Structure 1
Amino acid sequence: MRLLTRWFISGLSLFLAAWLVPGITVAGEGWIVYAIMAVILGLLNAIVRPIVKFFSIPALILTFGLFILVINALMLWLASSVATNIFGVGFYVDSFKDAFWGSLIITIVTALLSGLVKEKDND
């Protein structure tokens, strides 16, 4: 159930980012675009993001962790490219600036909603 909740929250945050940032456009109807994009973004965040963070440790230290916002923007931009070019899903991010603002919205919405629907641990 936890995985489905996180997937739903990711899809909803992607929807809000696409709605609020003019440079993020979605081609296609319905929730399926956001669901597929949430899976792609989740996989990239699980596989590629740790590697990028490791090699960005000096930049993360120098910026007191704020460089993570740049990494998040790069992951959204990469996910958009993978979704469009490999899977044929119409989720387009026009520029790095749009990816930055979109990833900031996604981060904030995901943090807020995850805090609201925190599930009980089975300890």
Structure 2
Amino acid sequence: MTRFLLSLAVNAIALWSAVWLLPGMDVTLSSSLHLFDDQTANTVVAYALLGLLFGAVNAVIRPIVAFLSLPITCLTLGLFTVIINAAMLALTSWLSSFLPMQLHIDRFFFTAVFAAVIVSLVSLVMSSITNRIAPERR
């Protein structure tokens, strides 16, 4: 359970950092998500739910897409992985349109690709920190 919560926090922080750094990304909350009187608490809940959605997309759909695109990934020496990550962000953005909080990405080839790089770097750093806090059991 600890690993799941840490993974959820890593995804939420990575998405928050991409939204904070890129002007083409935005998270909006509908009035039905206002669970608390404090706007900051509502924003934290929104990013946690988006992190959960992003983690589910990465756990279920990303392995299938990565397997099917293995030939082009090999031809580009792994650089196509950035496009796959950007597509997973775009899919998360589309799926969030059905939820009370929406992740908006204005353009794929600028915003989503750079967001994928930012999310990957932040996830890498945060995962290395969280592995020290709660190492995986083998």
Q: TM-score range by the shorter chain?
A: over 0.9
Give the structure 2 partner of residue 62 of structure 1.
75
Tell me if structure 2 keeps the 8 A contact 1:41–1:79.
yes
- Which of 116, 120, 123 aligns to 2:135? It is 120
- Which of 72, 86, 92 aligns to 1:79? It is 92
- SS of equivalent to 1:59: helix
Moved over 3 A (4+): none
Tell me if structure 2 keeps the 8 A contact 1:33–1:91.
no
For the aligned residue pairs, the C-alpha RMSD in angstroms reads 1.3
Matches within 5 A, 1:31-70: 31-70=44-83
**Unaligned runs of at least 5 residues, structure 2:** 30-38
Q: TM-score, normalised by structure 1?
A: 0.93
Deviation for aligned residue 1:4 = 0.4
Matches within 5 A, 1:87-98: 87-96=99-108, 97-98=110-111
**Unaligned runs of at least 5 residues, structure 1:** none
Q: Distance in 2 between matches of 1:9 and 1:109?
A: 8
Q: Give the percent of matched residue pairs that are identical in Structure 1 and Structure 2.
A: 32
Give the structure 1 partner of residue 18 of structure 2.
17
Deviation for aligned residue 1:109 = 0.3
Tell me if structure 2 keeps the 8 A contact 1:80–1:92.
yes
Aligned residue type for 1:91: L
Give the structure 1 partner of residue 32 of structure 2.
none
Q: Distance in 1 between matches of 2:119 and 2:103?
A: 14
Distance 1:17 1:64, change over 3 A: same
Q: Distance in 2 between matches of 1:89 and 1:12?
A: 16
- SS of equivalent to 1:117: helix
Paired residue total: 122
Aligned residue type for 1:20: L
Deviation for aligned residue 1:120 = 2.7
Structure 1 or 2, whichever has the larger Rg, is 2
1:106 aligns with 2:110: no
Q: TM-score, normalised by structure 2?
A: 0.83
